[in-house]
Amino acid sequence: MPMKKSDRKTPPSTVQSAPIVPKTRATKTESEKAVPPAPAAAKKGGAKAASVEPVQSAPAAAKKGGAKAASVEPVQSAPAAAKKRGAKALTEAKMLADTQTAVKVLKGVDARTMEKIERMASKVLSELDASGQPSLTMKHRSLSNIAYNPKRGIIELGDKTLSREFFNINMAKKFMQSFLVANGVKTLIEEGKTISIRQMFYMSKHTIKGTQENTFDDQAESDPVIEDLEVTIDALREELHLFANRRGLVVGRLVVDDAGDEIDLARMGRGGWGIPSICEEEHLKFKRTTAKFIMLVEKQAIFHRLNEDRFWEKNDCILMTSEGQAARGARRLLQRMAMELKLPIYILVDNDPWGLYIYSVLKQGSINLAFESMRLAVPGVRFLGMSAFDYDKFKLTPAATIKLSKEDITRAEQMKAYPWFKEKRWQREIDKLLSNGFKMELDALLTKSISFVTEEYIPRKLRENDWIV
């Protein structure tokens, strides 16, 4: 039974649907503070960004660097809860800074990640000693700091930065949350364990002593803080020992080593091998393959049709499904296969704006994860279909069509303005979708026959090189 559109695709947010312009030199706004230029300026207090009110007087002990982090108090005018947040954040910072013993016994990625966490904490404590005004600096993850790089063919995060400051009441809570998550990551690395981003929310959540305020109220608060930490210390979520729920399946001509277990993806039966959330080389290695290409289909139902028909066996390929918008694990796996196996990759999605968007995210990356594009995007993936021209080419009937909604039309017009869809063939494709006045789902190919997609549709399109990059 076809999946519901709401189950299959996650429509982009308002931010994601805004056109992206080619990359230009970033300009900082008043509310975005650059990294402090020199230690001398920091010692004198430094100039503050226009949106941040400087501290009038810091505790004398903090200025001299003699007070313990836990005893440092924000300015007297700050609410009691903010004082508690600040004291807790600096306590966490001191704990994080004391990682040198742990780093000696860690190796590889874990050692490097721990060192980055230690540097972040040490920087905050040194600023406390120098000026009594510690802060965290990170790249600004906003639409204004994201651009499309036509040379690389990916969406990238720009160079603009923001400062999250300990003595700014509006920033004190996030400052504290950043160190809570970092401390949780430190514990995971030391113990050699991984948890979900949902579990990290609970691991970091508790009531601040002496108040009725929680460190986190819901996961919508903790998830962005995890992403902020990725950007701040330049580490991947997987390197932080965190994962999201897995989504996606693979079968076909590939043997992998998954955490020491050798798995032949040609022997996965009808279900397929579940794509792990963490697909880094330390955990997953490609042993051997005889595949000629990789085929990723958007919908699980089509994946099962192709798997049951043994499409991958007859065509010597690797067959994947992203089960809708691809999760980070599936995107990372696809990029690694493209880089290491050096096989052509074909994408099969529905003929509607949301299918095109799924292809777009696989190809260029997404706005929300622009800081990850270098390891998630696959600029060379080929759009095999479903194309707006397939209705006539394969002599489909009106039963295979669904009328375009106003939302579909608006979204298609927006996508025409994207720099990566400016190429003539893409403009022609989107124009044809709009002129048709209807969209088509891959499942509609069953109106021809149950195995039409396996026996005629895909083979013909591959044979005729009927695809777009």
Residue 18, CA distances (Å) to 118, 129, 325, 363 in order: 37, 43, 18, 18
Residue indicated by tokens 């649907």: 17
Residues linked to residue 273 through DSSP beta bridges, in sequence order = 250
Residues 278 and 313: beta-carbon distance below 8 Å: no
Closest CA to 157 of 382, 414, 377, 426: 377
Closest CA to 225 of 157, 155, 136: 136
Residue 287, CA distances (Å) to 196, 260, 345 in order: 28, 11, 19
Distance in angstroms between the alpha carbons of the first and the last residue of the chain: 31
What residues act catalytically? 202
d(CA 55, CA 167): 7
Q: Where are the alpha helices (DSSP H) in 13-79?
A: 14-17, 39-43, 60-64
Closest CA to 195 of 225, 238, 233, 258: 238
d(CA 466, CA 385): 8
Residues 146 and 20: beta-carbon distance below 8 Å: yes
Residues 367, 368, 371, 372: what is their CA dihedral angle, to the nearest 10 degrees?
-100
